[in-house]
Amino acid sequence: MQYTTEQEPAINSLARIVKLVAFAGTGKTTTLVGYAKARPQARILYLSYNKAVEVAAKQRFPLNVTCKTAHGLAYATFGAKYKHKLSGNLRLTDIARIIQSQNWELVRSVQETLNNYLASADEDISIEHCPADKLKSDRMKRAAGNIVEGARVLWSQMCDLHNEATPQIHDGYLKMWALSKPNLRDRYDIIMGDEAQDINPVLAGVIAQQAAYGMGVVVCGDGHQMLYRFRGAVDALNASWLDRAEVHYLTKSFRFGPAVAHVANMVLAFKNEERQLAGLGSDTRVTKKLPEGLEHCTVLCRTVVGVIEAALEQVKNGGKIFWVGGIEGYNLQDLEDLHALSKGRRDRVKGKKLLQEYPDYDLYKEVAEESQDPEMKRSIKIVEQYSKDLPELFAALRKCAVKDELEAALTLSTSHRSKGLEWDVVRLAEDFSLDPFNPDNDKESWIDEMNLLYVSCTRAMRVLVVNSVVLEVMREFVDRRDGKKPNIPLVFRPKTARAA
C-alpha cells in the first residue's frame, strides 16, 4: 500500500513511545495497521474504546494484533467474579436504599462522586471527587463529608461479592483492575491506545503504567475530537509522560474535498489551531439547503431528543430510517413506559422496575427536579410534548426502522455516536444550542461544543448542509480565503464587539 509522507515516518518509527496526532479522516487506522504490519513478530495489543470499534479493528489488523476493550481485559480477571451481580448502571433509587436517604440531591451527589472516582486514577474516594457545585464555599466543603462517606459506603457494598443486593457495574470492575496495576508485558510487546483524547484517567493511567514497565506504546487521537469530558474523559495526548514521545501529525484527509476542509479549518481556527487540515478527497459541496432528489442523507443531532424529533418528521414522509447504534439504543420503550405512567396506565408499563421505584408520575418528576438528572428531565420533555399520541408515533418509528443502512432513505445519529463514521450527504440539525460569541460561555463547555461541530462537519464526504451555528462561525471569515482566524479575539466577547 502507498502511504503518505506523513504516514511513512510514523509507520517506520524506531521510538519506543510514539504519539500520533491524526485530524479527521486522515488515515489514522490505516497508519496503525501499517505500523503493525511493519512489525510482524511483535505482540501488539490494540486497546479500543468500545466494542463496535474492537469488532471493526479485528477485520483490519493483522494476526499479530489482539484487539480488546479495556473492559474486556478487566473482565477476565475481575469482572467475571461479579457476574452474578453485574448491572448496566446504578439507579438513583438503588443508591438511596444503600445510603438510606430520601434526600435526592444527596443521592445524586453520591452518584456523581462515585462516577468521578471510578473515572479517576486515584486510589481512594475523597472530597476532590465531589461535584464542583457542592464545593463552592468552606461551609459546603465541610458538609461534603456526608457525600464522600455515602460514596465510600456505596463502593464498599459494590465490591462485596456476597452482597448481591448492591450491583456491581462495568466501570466498577474496570477500576478494580486498574487499581491492581496490571503488567501486560508478559503477553504483549506493544500497546496501542486509540482515541487517546477521550479516555478517562483510569485507563490513561493503565497505559502510562505499561510504558513504565518498558512496553512499547503508541497513542493516537485528535484533541479537537474530544467529546466525552462530561463522562470524566481527559485528553491523554497532553499527559506529561508523553513529553518524551516521538510525535507525528496526520493532516491530509482523503474523506472529503477542500470545501469541507475549509469549514473544518474555520471551526478549528476559533480554537487557535495553527495547522491546516487539507481536503484531498472528492470535491465536496457546502450548502444551507438539502439538495433535492437525493436517495439518502444523514442527519446529525446534538441530542437524543433531536434524533427522535427528526425521526417523527420523517415518519410523515413514510421513508425508511436507519438508526446508528440501533433504534433500541434511543430509549423508546423506556419513554413509552414513562408515558403510560404519566397517564396512570400502570398495566401498560413493561419495565416493572419503573413501577417499583416510582409508584406514580408525580414522584418521577419530583426526583428529576430535585436530583437535576438530565436523562430524566429529557424523558419528561418528550413524554409531555407528545403526550397525546406518543405510542402510536413510536409504533410508526419501529415500522420504518431498518437494520441495513442501504435500505434507508434517512440515517439518524447523535453527533457523539457519529464519531468514526462518514456519509456522502450530511445535514446538521438545528438543536445545537451553542452561541459561539456569548461572553458568558463556560470555557470548557464552549470547547466541547466546538469539538462537536468539528466532528459533525467532518463526517460529510460529498455534501455538507450546515446549520445556523456553523453559519455564524463562517460569517467571521467572509472575504477570507486562507482559512485563518481574523486578527481580532473571537472567544468570550460580546456580539456587539464583533467586526462587521
The pLDDT tens digits for 362-415 are 999 998 888 877 778 878 988 998 888 888 999 999 999 999 999 999 999 999
For residue 38, the model assigns a pLDDT of: 97
- Kindly tell me if the per-residue pLDDT of 479 is higher than 70: no
**What would the pLDDT profile of 281-329 be if each residue is shown by its tens digit?**
999 999 999 999 899 999 999 988 889 888 988 887 778 999 998 998 8
For residue 138, the model assigns a pLDDT of: 85
For residue 482, the model assigns a pLDDT of: 57
**What would the pLDDT profile of 3-18 be if each residue is shown by its tens digit?**
999 999 999 999 999 9
Whether residues 201 and 302 fall in one domain: no
- Is residue 112 in some structural domain? yes
For residue 497, the model assigns a pLDDT of: 37
For residue 89, the model assigns a pLDDT of: 83
Whether residues 287 and 435 fall in one domain: yes
**What would the pLDDT profile of 192-212 be if each residue is shown by its tens digit?**
998 888 888 999 999 999 999
Contact 424, 291 (CB under 8 A): no
Domain boundary among 174, 199, 229: 174
For residue 151, the model assigns a pLDDT of: 96
Angstrom distance (rounded) from CA 71 to CA 80: 11
The number of beta carbons lying within 10 Å of the beta carbon of residue 17 is 18
- Is residue 86 in some structural domain? no
Give this prediction's pTM.
0.81
**What would the pLDDT profile of 276-294 be if each residue is shown by its tens digit?**
999 999 999 999 999 998 9
- Kindly tell me if the per-residue pLDDT of 499 is higher than 50: no
Whether residues 206 and 58 fall in one domain: yes
Whether residues 280 and 411 fall in one domain: yes
**What would the pLDDT profile of 238-287 be if each residue is shown by its tens digit?**
888 999 999 999 999 999 999 999 999 999 988 889 899 999 999 999 99
- Is residue 489 in some structural domain? no
**For 87-108, what is the HEC assignment?**
ECCCCHHHHHHHHCCCCHHHHH
- The CA R_g of the chain, rounded to the nearest whole Å, is 24
The full length of the chain comes to 500
For residue 481, the model assigns a pLDDT of: 58
- Is residue 232 in some structural domain? yes
Contact 44, 36 (CB under 8 A): yes
Whether residues 235 and 111 fall in one domain: no
- Is residue 202 in some structural domain? yes
* Residue located via cell numbers 434517512: 410
Q: What is the CATH classification number for the domain harbouring 27? A: 3.40.50.300
Contact 472, 42 (CB under 8 A): no
Domain boundary among 228, 250, 272: 250
- Find the domain containing 153 and state its range: 91-174
- Is residue 19 in some structural domain? yes
For residue 484, the model assigns a pLDDT of: 56
Whether residues 270 and 357 fall in one domain: yes
The grid cell for 486 is 481574523
Whether residues 202 and 336 fall in one domain: no
Q: What does the pLDDT average to over 468-474?
A: 91
Contact 267, 39 (CB under 8 A): no
- Is residue 490 in some structural domain? no
Whether residues 164 and 107 fall in one domain: yes
pLDDT interval class at 91 (50, 70, 90):
confident
- Is residue 1 in some structural domain? no
Whether residues 21 and 125 fall in one domain: no
Whether residues 359 and 314 fall in one domain: yes
Whether residues 223 and 329 fall in one domain: no
Whether residues 320 and 375 fall in one domain: yes
pLDDT interval class at 480 (50, 70, 90):
low
Domain count, the chain: 3
Domain boundary among 195, 230, 250: 250
